[in-house]
Amino acid sequence: MFKTIALLSTLLFSTIAFAADVIKFSEDGAIVNIHQFFSSLKVSKIKALHANTSGKALVTKTGIYAFLESPANDTHLKDFAPGTTVKILGKLHKKSFLLHIESISKSTVKLDAEIKKYKASTGKTISIKGMNMCQCGLTLGSLPHSCKLGHIHHMQGNDKTIYHYLQSSKDHSLNKNHFKAMKIKALLFPGNWIFVK
């Protein structure tokens, strides 16, 4: 009886905690091709998987944000090419810099200084323990997520922080380690983007 109550209390606390990781989002920013964005990586042109979502990111005055690879985001982003400045309203998984778009429109915001600063990032070497997951298994609180666009992988750390693979890195999707516990060394860039060494 007491064990059951304790378990239910733990599950309820976890649900509330994960829900609190999701906040409202309202910012102006620039759409960028994230896999060719960081100058230090010297990446040649590549074709990103699901280019409307995992191939794009949003640069704002507060940071770099990844887009959930969802059908809704795919539809919202299809008419906005890299280089376009936009206003986005939606929801953010703040710990992981992951965005769910509710509305998107063109903007006239100027972000030259921010783009220059972030492009110059050289990354920070880190080790991550966690699990290589597609959206079926990610802990995303109240954000809508599914694998309808395919099993696109992210690294979820043991602390539930989610990292996004730069497709130019070695074995970027780590498909052979699908839903397996693992430890990786990577360069960490703004927005939780990682380049696997």
Q: What is the CATH number of the domain that holds 38?
A: 2.40.50
Indicate whether 95 and 7 sit together in one domain.
yes
Amino acid at 32: V
What b/e sequence results for 83-94 when a residue is b if at least 16 CB atoms lie within 10 Å of its CB, and e otherwise?
ebbbebebbbbe
**Angle subtended at Cα 147 by Cα 103 and Cα 157, rounded to the nearest 5 degrees:** 95
**pLDDT (0 to 100) of residue 53:** 81
Domain count, the chain: 2
Indicate whether 36 and 112 sit together in one domain.
yes
Indicate whether 97 and 162 sit together in one domain.
no
Pairing of β 64-67 and β 98-106: parallel
**pLDDT (0 to 100) of residue 48:** 56
**pLDDT (0 to 100) of residue 5:** 42
Indicate whether 74 and 128 sit together in one domain.
no
What b/e sequence results for 38-49 when a residue is b if at least 16 CB atoms lie within 10 Å of its CB, and e otherwise?
beebebeeeebb
How far is it, in rounded angstroms, from Cα 137 to Cα 128?
18
Question: How many C-beta atoms lie closer than 10 Å to residue 5's C-beta?
Answer: 9
What residue numbers bound the domain in which 91 lies? 2-118
Indicate whether 112 and 178 sit together in one domain.
no
**pLDDT (0 to 100) of residue 175:** 58
Residue 26: both structure tokens together: 């309202």
Closest listed residue to residue 65, CA positions, set 102, 106, 95, 108 = 95
Question: How many C-beta atoms lie closer than 10 Å to residue 145's C-beta?
Answer: 20
pLDDT < 70: residue spans in the chain: 1-20, 43-52, 137, 145-151, 168-178
Indicate whether 146 and 72 sit together in one domain.
no
**pLDDT (0 to 100) of residue 101:** 96
Indicate whether 10 and 91 sit together in one domain.
yes
Pairing of β 193-196 and β 162-165: parallel
pTM: 0.82
What end-to-end distance do the CA atoms of the chain give, in Å? 49
**pLDDT (0 to 100) of residue 19:** 52
Burial environment of residue 158 by CB neighbours within 10 A (0 to 12, 13 to 18, 19 or more):
exposed
**pLDDT (0 to 100) of residue 50:** 56
Indicate whether 57 and 99 sit together in one domain.
yes
For residue 59, what are the β-bridge partners?
30, 64
